[in-house]
Structure 1
Amino acid sequence: MARIGIVVSEFNYDITYLMLQKAISHARFLGLEITYVFKVPGTYEIPFAVANLLKRNDVDGVVALGAVIKGATKHDELVASQTARKLMDLMIQYGKPVGLGIIGPGATRMQALERVEDYARRAVEAVAKMINRSKSLEEKKFAGETVFIE
Structure 2
Amino acid sequence: MQDSDQGQPAFEGALDGSELSIAVVQARFNDAITSALASACLAELSVLGVPAEAIRHITVPGALEVPLALQALAESNDYDALIALGCIIRGETYHFELVANESGSAVTRIGLDHGIPIANAILTVENETQAWARAEPKGRDAARVAVEMANLLKDIA
Separation (CA, whole Å) in 1 of partners of 2:144 and 2:126: 22
Please list every run of 5 or more consecutive structure 1 residues that lacks an aligned counterpart in the other structure: 139-150
Q: How many Å apart are 1:31 and its aligned residue?
A: 1.2
Q: How many Å apart are 1:66 and its aligned residue?
A: 0.2
- The Cα RMSD (Å) is 1.1
Separation (CA, whole Å) in 2 of partners of 1:132 and 1:79: 30
TM-score, normalised with respect to structure 2: 0.83
Task: Tell me which residue corresponds to 1:97.
Answer: 117
Question: 1:12 pairs with 19, 30, 33, which one?
Answer: 30
Q: Which amino acid aligns with 2:121?
A: G
Separation (CA, whole Å) in 2 of partners of 1:118 and 1:98: 17
Question: 1:26 pairs with 40, 44, 56, which one?
Answer: 44
Q: How many Å apart are 1:102 and its aligned residue?
A: 0.9
Task: Tell me which residue corresponds to 1:85.
Answer: 105
Q: Are residue 113 (structure 1) and residue 132 (structure 2) matched?
A: yes
Question: Percent identity of the aligned residues?
Answer: 30
Give the secondary structure class of the aligned counterpart of 2:92.
Answer: coil
- Structure 1 residues 37-76: aligned runs within 5 Å: 37-76=57-96
Q: How many Å apart are 1:88 and its aligned residue?
A: 0.8
Separation (CA, whole Å) in 1 of partners of 2:148 and 2:100: 24
Give the secondary structure class of the aligned counterpart of 1:64.
Answer: strand
Question: Retained in 2: the 8 A contact 1:46–1:64?
Answer: yes
Q: How many Å apart are 1:127 and its aligned residue?
A: 1.1
Give the secondary structure class of the aligned counterpart of 1:111.
Answer: helix
Give the secondary structure class of the aligned counterpart of 1:43.
Answer: coil
Q: Which amino acid aligns with 1:115?
A: R
Question: 1:2 pairs with 2, 20, 45, which one?
Answer: 20
Q: How many Å apart are 1:77 and its aligned residue?
A: 1.5
Q: Work out which structure has the larger RCO, using CA pairs closer than 8 Å and 6 or more positions apart in sequence.
A: 2
TM-score, normalised with respect to structure 1: 0.87
Q: Are residue 36 (structure 1) and residue 56 (structure 2) matched?
A: yes
Give the secondary structure class of the aligned counterpart of 1:17.
Answer: helix
Q: Which amino acid aligns with 1:58?
A: D
Q: How many Å apart are 1:116 and its aligned residue?
A: 0.5
Q: Which amino acid aligns with 1:135?
A: K
